[in-house]
Amino acid sequence: MKNMAALTRNVRAFFKLQGSVLKDVGNICHGCRQLYSPAALGVDNYVRSRERVATQFTNLADKFRAKMAEFSEPSSANMIFTEDLKNMAHLVQKGCKEDLELVVKMMTRFYQQNKNLRFGSFIFGPVIMRMFYYVNEPDLALEVFRKPELDGFFDQLVSYQVLMDLLLINHKYKEVLEVFEAVTEKQLQNARYPRNVTLLAFAACYKMQNSEESLNYAMSLWNNLQKVGHQPLRRTCTFAAALALRQNAPQYTLEIVSSVRQQNYVTVRNLKMAALADLGRPDDVMPLLRSILVVDDPDARKQSVMQDALDKVRQSVELADNKELSYQFGQIEKQLREQGHLQSTGLDELLCSEIEQVTVAQPQERKYLATSFTRQPNAVQRTRIRPGLQELQ
């Protein structure tokens, strides 16, 4: 009993360490920070479930794998049950090809045997996608997603979101847009452009460096959003605006940021200043800069100006060759620096900062999200929000 207790403690300590580094999994494993945090995608709770399953299968995991491999064979008369697939999805080890192949076989057999008659209400799409995210297998995740025999298996918005974020982390931007097109075709939950996956589509367009194709795609998508009355998230707007700025289309940038309700938000303000500078209108930037200096509320959050945006304004002022304007800008820049409003953080870093929160679905929508792992034991239910699950606007 003592040996078993010690082994259990070791297993728990190992998974606690795994969970503590999961927040930085994008930086450590992929060389690229994820857009949504693991908590926002429910991956943190997937990791905790792995700990529980590992404890339950202490000294039994290999026998279980062998039995499931036998049951997954086409000639087998045995069935794959919900608990079987659920357990195997949490026993998968990183870098173990055999584990991943077994899960794919199990899920295919499970889905086919239950296609006409479902024995339970557990929906596996989000869990399997979190598994792929955890082991960092974007190619296999996309391959499984495309399988005709699994059509409908991943028809949950959160499954699409996790897959798209995983592809984004691994720089597979065209594949992100491929998945997005699948979402728009199926119109899950009667929504043609779900807000979180639409955001990821614009993020992919933005990440396609120096691509005129990505600008054309994004602007066409933006026009479609406007036609159907879609209200995009603020981050969606800023990705679209920043892409236009990067592709030397500041006129689009200015129009897009004008649609954002919170005009004084840091990315919106800086994109507007940069766009006006690129349009040769530095004089119109001066009121924006002055508005930052006149805020005298000590409790108000200090408003920031990004150094790279201000550099654009300076260049535009110099090209204007106007002594009065140059003097005004010089005075304002000095005050911004003295009062601590200048930030060295670049616009790109600010735009791609990790999203910690996502909207929690309403009760009638939760059946579509299935195992989204959005509830915590101590969550304040009346707000319907926990850290990591409030969608940015």
| Cα Rg, the chain, nearest whole Å | 25
- 209 pLDDT above the threshold of 90: no
| Confidence at residue 192, expressed as pLDDT on a 0 to 100 scale | 84
Does 205 or 123 have the greater pLDDT score?
Answer: 205
pLDDT band at 19 (very low <50, low <70, confident <90, very high): very low
pLDDT band at residue 33 under the 50/70/90 scheme: low
Interval 93-116 mean pLDDT: 90
Tens digits of residue pLDDT in 69-92: 999 998 888 999 999 999 999 999
* Residue 205 one-letter amino acid: C
Residues 36-46 pLDDT 10s: 999 999 999 99
Pairing verdict, β 305-306 and 342-343: parallel
Task: Report H helices in 23-57.
Answer: 25, 38-41, 43-56
pLDDT for residue 264:
83
DSSP state of 192: S
| Mean pLDDT of the 240-260 span | 96
Greatest mean pLDDT among 9-13, 212-216, 363-367 lies in: 212-216
- In angstroms, the CA 16 to CA 43 distance is 14
Helices 173-186 and 157-169 pack at an angle, to 10 degrees, of 170
Percent of the chain topping pLDDT 90: 65
| Residues paired with 191 in a beta bridge | none
pLDDT confidence of residue 251: 97
pTM metric for this prediction: 0.82
- Residues 94-116 have a mean pLDDT of 90
Residue 222 pLDDT exceeds 60? yes
All residues at 6 or more sequence positions from 68 whose CB lies less than 8 Å from its CB, including other chains: 80, 84, 88, 102, 106
Find, among 157, 118, 53, 128, the residue nearest to 367 by Cα. Answer: 157
- The residue type of 303 is Q
End-to-end CA distance of the chain: 52
Calpha distance 20→392 (Å, rounded): 24
Helices (runs of H) and strands (runs of E) counted in the chain: 21, 2
Cα 257 to Cα 196, 287, 292, 338: the distances in Å are: 19, 17, 18, 28
pLDDT digits (tens, 9 = 90+) for 159-180: 999 999 999 999 999 999 999 9
> 112 falls in which pLDDT band (50, 70, 90)?
confident
pLDDT of 365: 36
- Opening angle at CA 289, ends 288 and 291, nearest 5: 65
